[in-house]
Amino acid sequence: MTEEGFYSFSSQSSRELTEEDNEKLSKQTVISDFKKNKLEIEARKNWDKFYNRNKNNFFKDRNWSAEDLKIICPDIDFEKEISYLEAGCGVGNMLFPLVAEIPKLKLFAFDFSANAVRMLEERAKELELPVATAVVDLSIPSSSSPFEEQVDLATLIFVMSAIHPDKMKIAAENMRNLVKIGGSVVVRDYGINDHAMIRFGREARIADRFYVRQDGTRAYYFDLDELCGFFESSGFKCERKEYLHRITINHQKNLKAPRIFVQARFVRID
Protein backbone atom coordinates (compact mmCIF):
# COMPACT_ATOMS: atom_id res chain seq x y z
CA MET A 1 0.00 0.00 0.00
CA THR A 2 1.80 3.11 -1.21
CA GLU A 3 -0.86 5.79 -1.60
CA GLU A 4 -2.37 7.82 1.21
CA GLY A 5 -6.16 7.71 1.56
CA PHE A 6 -6.96 4.05 0.90
CA TYR A 7 -7.42 1.28 3.45
CA SER A 8 -5.32 -1.75 2.76
CA PHE A 9 -7.59 -4.55 3.99
CA SER A 10 -10.58 -5.42 6.16
CA SER A 11 -10.88 -7.95 8.98
CA GLN A 12 -12.99 -8.93 11.95
CA SER A 13 -10.42 -7.68 14.44
CA SER A 14 -8.71 -4.39 15.17
CA ARG A 15 -4.95 -4.05 15.50
CA GLU A 16 -2.84 -5.02 18.49
CA LEU A 17 -1.32 -2.14 20.39
CA THR A 18 2.43 -1.80 20.59
CA GLU A 19 4.34 -1.18 23.82
CA GLU A 20 4.76 2.43 22.74
CA ASP A 21 1.00 2.75 22.14
CA ASN A 22 0.19 1.42 25.61
CA GLU A 23 2.68 3.82 27.16
CA LYS A 24 1.01 6.77 25.42
CA LEU A 25 -2.44 5.62 26.54
CA SER A 26 -1.25 5.33 30.14
CA LYS A 27 -0.29 9.01 30.11
CA GLN A 28 -3.75 10.20 29.05
CA THR A 29 -5.71 11.83 31.84
CA VAL A 30 -9.48 12.21 32.28
CA ILE A 31 -10.98 15.69 32.17
CA SER A 32 -13.06 17.08 35.05
CA ASP A 33 -16.77 16.37 35.47
CA PHE A 34 -17.40 20.10 35.04
CA LYS A 35 -15.72 20.08 31.61
CA LYS A 36 -17.52 16.86 30.62
CA ASN A 37 -20.90 18.43 31.38
CA LYS A 38 -19.96 21.67 29.64
CA LEU A 39 -18.99 19.79 26.48
CA GLU A 40 -22.31 17.94 26.45
CA ILE A 41 -24.30 21.15 26.94
CA GLU A 42 -22.32 23.02 24.28
CA ALA A 43 -22.08 20.16 21.74
CA ARG A 44 -24.30 21.87 19.16
CA LYS A 45 -22.59 25.23 19.64
CA ASN A 46 -19.16 23.68 19.13
CA TRP A 47 -20.21 22.03 15.84
CA ASP A 48 -21.86 25.26 14.68
CA LYS A 49 -18.59 27.07 15.42
CA PHE A 50 -16.67 24.37 13.56
CA TYR A 51 -18.69 24.81 10.36
CA ASN A 52 -18.78 28.58 10.68
CA ARG A 53 -14.99 28.61 10.96
CA ASN A 54 -14.15 25.98 8.32
CA LYS A 55 -17.08 26.54 5.93
CA ASN A 56 -17.01 23.68 3.41
CA ASN A 57 -13.22 23.55 3.20
CA PHE A 58 -12.36 21.13 6.02
CA PHE A 59 -13.73 17.79 4.83
CA LYS A 60 -13.08 16.52 1.33
CA ASP A 61 -15.89 15.14 -0.83
CA ARG A 62 -16.10 11.38 -0.29
CA ASN A 63 -15.67 10.26 -3.87
CA TRP A 64 -15.31 6.60 -2.80
CA SER A 65 -18.89 6.52 -1.62
CA ALA A 66 -20.76 5.20 -4.68
CA GLU A 67 -18.35 2.33 -5.31
CA ASP A 68 -18.31 1.34 -1.64
CA LEU A 69 -22.09 1.45 -1.30
CA LYS A 70 -22.52 -0.87 -4.26
CA ILE A 71 -20.11 -3.34 -2.65
CA ILE A 72 -21.73 -3.10 0.80
CA CYS A 73 -25.28 -3.31 -0.61
CA PRO A 74 -25.02 -5.66 -3.63
CA ASP A 75 -28.75 -6.44 -3.53
CA ILE A 76 -29.82 -2.82 -4.05
CA ASP A 77 -30.60 -1.83 -7.65
CA PHE A 78 -29.10 1.64 -7.92
CA GLU A 79 -30.49 1.99 -11.45
CA LYS A 80 -33.94 2.47 -9.92
CA GLU A 81 -35.12 5.50 -7.94
CA ILE A 82 -34.02 5.14 -4.33
CA SER A 83 -34.74 7.47 -1.45
CA TYR A 84 -31.42 8.25 0.26
CA LEU A 85 -30.70 10.05 3.55
CA GLU A 86 -27.34 11.41 4.57
CA ALA A 87 -27.78 11.43 8.35
CA GLY A 88 -25.32 13.81 9.98
CA CYS A 89 -24.74 15.31 6.56
CA GLY A 90 -22.35 18.12 7.44
CA VAL A 91 -22.01 20.15 4.25
CA GLY A 92 -22.88 17.16 2.03
CA ASN A 93 -19.46 15.60 1.40
CA MET A 94 -21.14 12.20 0.96
CA LEU A 95 -24.38 13.30 -0.69
CA PHE A 96 -23.07 15.40 -3.58
CA PRO A 97 -20.45 12.94 -4.93
CA LEU A 98 -22.94 10.11 -4.47
CA VAL A 99 -25.73 11.67 -6.52
CA ALA A 100 -23.20 12.55 -9.23
CA GLU A 101 -22.56 8.81 -9.65
CA ILE A 102 -26.09 7.58 -8.86
CA PRO A 103 -28.38 10.26 -10.34
CA LYS A 104 -31.73 8.60 -9.58
CA LEU A 105 -31.42 9.15 -5.82
CA LYS A 106 -34.19 11.05 -4.07
CA LEU A 107 -32.25 13.10 -1.55
CA PHE A 108 -32.75 13.79 2.15
CA ALA A 109 -30.25 15.25 4.61
CA PHE A 110 -30.04 16.41 8.20
CA ASP A 111 -27.39 17.52 10.65
CA PHE A 112 -26.98 18.58 14.26
CA SER A 113 -25.52 21.91 13.08
CA ALA A 114 -27.78 24.51 11.51
CA ASN A 115 -24.70 26.11 9.92
CA ALA A 116 -23.83 22.84 8.16
CA VAL A 117 -27.38 22.41 6.85
CA ARG A 118 -27.44 25.99 5.57
CA MET A 119 -24.19 25.45 3.63
CA LEU A 120 -25.51 22.19 2.17
CA GLU A 121 -28.69 23.98 1.05
CA GLU A 122 -26.62 26.72 -0.62
CA ARG A 123 -24.57 24.19 -2.57
CA ALA A 124 -27.70 22.24 -3.57
CA LYS A 125 -29.29 25.46 -4.82
CA GLU A 126 -26.22 26.28 -6.92
CA LEU A 127 -26.40 22.80 -8.46
CA GLU A 128 -30.20 23.02 -8.85
CA LEU A 129 -30.46 19.78 -6.90
CA PRO A 130 -33.62 19.12 -4.83
CA VAL A 131 -32.75 18.02 -1.28
CA ALA A 132 -35.17 17.80 1.66
CA THR A 133 -33.28 19.07 4.73
CA ALA A 134 -33.74 19.37 8.48
CA VAL A 135 -31.83 20.17 11.66
CA VAL A 136 -31.97 17.06 13.86
CA ASP A 137 -30.35 15.96 17.13
CA LEU A 138 -30.08 12.17 16.95
CA SER A 139 -29.31 11.97 20.67
CA ILE A 140 -32.79 13.14 21.69
CA PRO A 141 -35.52 10.45 21.69
CA SER A 142 -38.06 10.91 18.90
CA SER A 143 -40.95 8.78 17.66
CA SER A 144 -41.27 10.48 14.27
CA SER A 145 -39.32 11.59 11.22
CA PRO A 146 -38.74 15.21 10.15
CA PHE A 147 -39.49 14.10 6.59
CA GLU A 148 -42.72 13.06 4.90
CA GLU A 149 -41.46 9.58 4.10
CA GLN A 150 -39.07 6.93 5.35
CA VAL A 151 -36.06 6.19 3.15
CA ASP A 152 -34.67 3.10 1.43
CA LEU A 153 -31.07 3.82 2.37
CA ALA A 154 -29.32 5.99 4.97
CA THR A 155 -25.67 6.57 5.78
CA LEU A 156 -24.03 7.56 9.06
CA ILE A 157 -20.47 8.50 8.15
CA PHE A 158 -18.38 9.55 11.18
CA VAL A 159 -21.56 10.63 12.96
CA MET A 160 -22.14 8.17 15.82
CA SER A 161 -18.68 8.89 17.22
CA ALA A 162 -19.63 12.51 17.91
CA ILE A 163 -22.50 11.41 20.20
CA HIS A 164 -22.07 10.68 23.89
CA PRO A 165 -21.82 6.88 24.40
CA ASP A 166 -24.77 6.98 26.81
CA LYS A 167 -26.96 8.27 23.97
CA MET A 168 -25.85 6.04 21.10
CA LYS A 169 -28.69 3.58 21.67
CA ILE A 170 -31.12 6.50 21.32
CA ALA A 171 -29.46 7.48 18.02
CA ALA A 172 -29.87 3.94 16.67
CA GLU A 173 -33.53 3.89 17.74
CA ASN A 174 -34.10 7.23 16.02
CA MET A 175 -32.61 5.85 12.80
CA ARG A 176 -35.25 3.12 12.91
CA ASN A 177 -37.93 5.85 12.53
CA LEU A 178 -36.20 7.21 9.43
CA VAL A 179 -35.75 4.00 7.44
CA LYS A 180 -38.38 1.76 5.85
CA ILE A 181 -38.76 -1.85 6.93
CA GLY A 182 -36.24 -3.64 4.70
CA GLY A 183 -34.28 -0.41 4.31
CA SER A 184 -30.57 -0.15 5.14
CA VAL A 185 -28.31 1.99 7.31
CA VAL A 186 -24.63 2.00 6.40
CA VAL A 187 -22.24 3.13 9.13
CA ARG A 188 -18.57 4.04 8.91
CA ASP A 189 -16.76 5.45 11.93
CA TYR A 190 -13.62 5.43 14.05
CA GLY A 191 -12.41 2.08 15.38
CA ILE A 192 -10.74 1.06 18.63
CA ASN A 193 -6.93 1.38 18.62
CA ASP A 194 -6.98 3.85 15.75
CA HIS A 195 -3.79 5.92 15.57
CA ALA A 196 -5.76 9.10 16.26
CA MET A 197 -7.03 7.63 19.55
CA ILE A 198 -3.48 6.96 20.71
CA ARG A 199 -2.32 10.47 19.79
CA PHE A 200 -4.58 12.31 22.23
CA GLY A 201 -2.57 13.92 25.00
CA ARG A 202 -3.35 14.87 28.56
CA GLU A 203 -6.67 16.53 29.42
CA ALA A 204 -8.44 15.14 26.35
CA ARG A 205 -9.99 11.90 27.61
CA ILE A 206 -13.67 12.10 28.57
CA ALA A 207 -14.19 8.37 29.19
CA ASP A 208 -12.95 5.05 27.83
CA ARG A 209 -12.32 5.57 24.08
CA PHE A 210 -14.13 8.95 24.17
CA TYR A 211 -12.10 12.14 23.63
CA VAL A 212 -12.43 15.88 23.09
CA ARG A 213 -10.53 17.68 20.34
CA GLN A 214 -9.06 21.15 20.79
CA ASP A 215 -12.08 22.74 19.08
CA GLY A 216 -14.53 21.17 21.55
CA THR A 217 -15.90 18.52 19.18
CA ARG A 218 -15.75 14.93 20.42
CA ALA A 219 -14.77 11.54 19.03
CA TYR A 220 -15.53 7.99 20.19
CA TYR A 221 -13.63 4.91 18.99
CA PHE A 222 -15.84 1.86 18.47
CA ASP A 223 -15.52 -1.81 19.17
CA LEU A 224 -17.25 -3.43 16.19
CA ASP A 225 -19.53 -5.73 18.21
CA GLU A 226 -20.48 -2.81 20.43
CA LEU A 227 -21.58 -0.77 17.40
CA CYS A 228 -23.64 -3.69 16.11
CA GLY A 229 -25.28 -4.09 19.50
CA PHE A 230 -26.77 -0.59 19.39
CA PHE A 231 -28.55 -1.32 16.11
CA GLU A 232 -29.43 -4.97 16.68
CA SER A 233 -31.26 -3.98 19.87
CA SER A 234 -33.13 -1.26 17.95
CA GLY A 235 -34.91 -3.32 15.29
CA PHE A 236 -32.06 -3.92 12.82
CA LYS A 237 -30.23 -6.98 11.56
CA CYS A 238 -26.50 -6.73 10.86
CA GLU A 239 -25.83 -7.84 7.27
CA ARG A 240 -22.13 -6.97 7.17
CA LYS A 241 -19.51 -5.75 9.62
CA GLU A 242 -15.76 -5.23 9.44
CA TYR A 243 -12.76 -3.28 10.62
CA LEU A 244 -11.11 -1.29 7.85
CA HIS A 245 -7.33 -1.08 8.16
CA ARG A 246 -5.65 1.80 6.38
CA ILE A 247 -2.10 3.10 6.47
CA THR A 248 -1.75 6.87 6.20
CA ILE A 249 1.74 7.79 5.00
CA ASN A 250 3.56 11.06 5.58
CA HIS A 251 6.39 10.84 3.04
CA GLN A 252 7.98 14.10 4.21
CA LYS A 253 8.36 12.87 7.79
CA ASN A 254 8.69 9.20 6.82
CA LEU A 255 5.86 8.28 9.17
CA LYS A 256 3.18 5.61 8.84
CA ALA A 257 -0.03 5.94 10.86
CA PRO A 258 -2.25 2.85 11.23
CA ARG A 259 -5.82 4.07 10.91
CA ILE A 260 -8.67 1.80 12.03
CA PHE A 261 -12.32 2.31 11.09
CA VAL A 262 -15.48 0.30 11.67
CA GLN A 263 -17.98 -0.31 8.89
CA ALA A 264 -21.33 -2.08 9.00
CA ARG A 265 -24.62 -2.44 7.17
CA PHE A 266 -27.84 -2.77 9.14
CA VAL A 267 -31.25 -3.70 7.67
CA ARG A 268 -34.43 -2.73 9.49
CA ILE A 269 -36.44 -5.85 10.24
CA ASP A 270 -39.37 -4.47 12.28
In contact, 177 and 146? CB cutoff 8 Å: no
Rounded to a whole number of angstroms, the CA Rg of the chain reads 18
Please state, in angstroms and as integers, the Cα–Cα distance from residue 187 to each residue in 102, 120, 132, 193, following that order. 19, 21, 21, 18
Tens of pLDDT, residues 43-97: 989 888 888 786 555 456 677 789 999 999 999 999 999 999 999 999 998 999 9
Tens of pLDDT, residues 28-43: 999 999 999 999 999 9
Q: Is the pLDDT of residue 4 over 50?
A: no
> Identity (one letter) of the amino acid at 102?
I
pTM of the entire structure? 0.91
> Domains of the chain, with CATH numbers?
7-268 (3.40.50.150)
Per-residue DSSP letters for 35-77?
A: HHHHHHHTHHHHHHHHHHHHTTSSSPP-TTHHHHHHHH-TTS-
